[in-house]
Amino acid sequence: MKSIFSERMGYKKPRTVIQSESMDDSLRTALWNAIYKLYFIGFLEQQWFRLEFTEQNCMFIKLWTEFFNQKIDEIPSKTKQGVDYIKERFLKFEWFEVYDIVEFIIELTDEKLFVYAINSILEENLSGYRVISKEIVPIISEQEIESIESALQIHNIVSSHLEASLKLLSDKTNPNYRNSIKESISAVEAIAKLIVGKPKATLGTAIKEIENAGKIQIHKALRDGFMKLYGWTSDDEGIRHSLMDEPTLSQEDAVYMLVTCSAFINYLNEKYRKFDLNLSGK
């Protein structure tokens, strides 16, 4: 699918990028199209509903009687009327009800092709969910999304890196997970530079200066963890960790880094604010 102008130019707000407790029209339509193409096209070929033992007929009966709780003798005689009934409700469902019916169909059919198609759609549309072992499960929570939103509000320099990370992550035609990860860690580096007031400092030197100043104490394990993350994404002094050489970096890797870096940015900002200090620029 060709990217649209607003996506290429970054005019869509980051809040809508990772869909956790919501579902936009693009995702809803893509899920309906997957259901329709894999199941209802064959069902519609028979024109009239028949109580015959076919996969499409059995699935429709179960949807009608078990999912929608309708009487079996009130199934429309024309198959198109039956499909239109389901479509109408599908398009009006709450976001979680859409996942209910998708999960119901997965359990009903156990079709690997359908699961693959659904997971591809969820990934392409940056849903916070995936199908794992026949169940739709979250890969990112609302709290994690709130953490990203909070970090975006701290400072223009920090938010520019996080917005770049989101843009690279959300490109539907050519997502760039490697550079999305780099932008996420660069956002951490940016806030550390702001705290020490040295725009040319590296994350490592900035963190050391923050601690040496005696105002912000960072737990050693937390500090060491982020220094290792920085090493994974940095070319500084020729360091190149195998993570960044990995050819199969996934959306999950990039989302993890975005969430983790946003949390650390919020952590540093709160530590900084305890001394009545504020970062100007937002």
| pLDDT for 15 | 46
Q: Which helix (H) or strand (E) is 259 found in, with range? A: helix 251-273
Do 155 and 128 belong to one domain? no
Q: Are residues 46 and 111 in the same domain?
A: yes
In a domain, 11, yes or no: no
Domain membership flag for residue 14? no
Among 120, 139, 158, the domain-final residue is 139
98, 127: one domain: yes
Residue 274 DSSP code: T
- Mean pLDDT on 227-250: 59
- State whether 202 and 118 are in the same domain: no
pTM for the full predicted model: 0.66
pLDDT in tens, 71-119: 998 988 888 888 899 999 999 999 999 999 999 999 888 778 899 999 9
Which pLDDT does position 1 carry in this prediction?
Answer: 46
Q: What is the pLDDT of residues 161-200, one digit of tens each?
A: 998 888 888 776 778 888 888 899 889 989 988 888 888 8
CATH at 177 = 1.20.120
Q: What is the reported pLDDT for 30?
A: 96
Domain count across the chain? 2
Please indicate, yes or no, whether residues 186 and 123 belong to a single structural domain of this protein: no
Give CA–CA dist 199/207, Å, rounded: 13
Please give the backbone phi and psi of residue 211, each rounded to the nearest 5 degrees, phi first.
Answer: -70, -40
Domain limits for position 266? 143-273
Q: What is the mean pLDDT of the chain?
A: 81
Whether the CB-CB separation of 17 and 126 falls below 8 Å is answered with yes
200 lies in the same domain as 220: yes
Q: Which amino acid, residue 210? A: I
Q: How far is CA 151 from CA 75, 155, 267, in A?
A: 52, 8, 10
Q: How far is CA 48 from the centre of its chain?
A: 41
Strands (E), the chain: 129-132, 135-138
Among residues 139, 173, 200, which one ends one of the domains?
Answer: 139
Does 34 or 43 have the greater pLDDT score? 34
- Residue 6 inside a domain? The answer is no
Pairing, β 135-138 against β 129-132: antiparallel
Q: Could you tell me which residue, 30 or 138, shows the higher pLDDT?
A: 30
